[in-house]
Structure 1
Amino acid sequence: MSWFGKSLNHKFTIATIAGFLISSVVFLVLFLGFYQNKLEQEKAQAAHDVNRLLQTSLENAMLKRDIDGLITIVQHLGEQENVSAVMIVNPQGKVRFASRPDLEGKIIGKEFIEGLEAHTQFMKDETGREVLRSVNPVHNKPPCQVCHGPLEKHPVNGILLVDYDATSMRH
């Protein structure tokens, strides 16, 4: 046997280095998973924040009965980079206003709206493309009741949907 094979000190060094490399790889895999999850959460939060700002603008346009202004806001947002579609849907799921004319009048299935709570999630849109969909219900408020009726009968006036292209977010 060679001197290297007989040396206990060398065997210990090689085992230590191997243990260090294995634990480094394990921590790297764990860190990358955590980082990817945190990045997706941050993007979802940013999308939610943008949608709250948009919702405020849309509510203001509705209160002023500025339908043309509402349509312009929806169209301009739909032209933004990484935005696939912007839709305002009535509580029954019918698209009333959309950034893409082909979506207007379509019925969005309940599985694409998922209840009446604000949320953001990765999903497949109606065409099968992966999007980060932000769903924000527009709740009925006292000033809105003039057009939309009493709060008891109409708790939600509509739902704001913004689909962000998820391709760049997942890679």
Structure 2
Amino acid sequence: MSKRYMSVPKNTICLWYDKDAEEAARFYASVFPDSEVTAVRRAPADFPGGKKDDVLTVEFTVLGIACIGLNGGDTFPQSEAFSFQIATEDQAETDRYWDAIVGNGGQESQCGWCKDKWGLSWQITPRVLTEVMQSGDPEAAQRAFEAMMPMRKIDVATIERAVAGTE
């Protein structure tokens, strides 16, 4: 077949869902800027995770990153082996994303990690933390790292004090 199909990105993140890919994609589009659901595709025939005409795949973006959600059934659950790392500018943005994910049936974890209600892991990471870890200042990085370790949601002010050596 030499027929060209609609534009398909060269690389797309494929996320496996039990049956809720469309709900998850619409949630992500409502929370993160530069995010949208671009297509919902229905199964042309029965498949191991569902029936003909069920939603099979959902094409969407998260912060401009192309993704496809596959409703493949419960064979492969999400794990921390894959996560989205979201860089935040300040405490308000950190709180907004964290609260949206955790407050919509998700759960908190350690060091800025949380899971959404579909089991997908997210790292909500203030830039101040990432920047100090890349700064080449090992003492400031160590102080920030040690301040971060007992946290669930990252507290920007605490990290800033640790970087400055006043914590």
Per the shorter chain, which TM-score range?
A: under 0.3
In our comparison, the structure showing a higher alpha carbon Rg is 1
When the two structures are superposed, what TM-score results if normalisation uses the length of structure 1? 0.22
Higher relative contact order (Cα pairs below 8 Å, separated by 6+ residues): 1
Higher normalized strand content (fraction of residues): 2
When the two structures are superposed, what TM-score results if normalisation uses the length of structure 2? 0.23
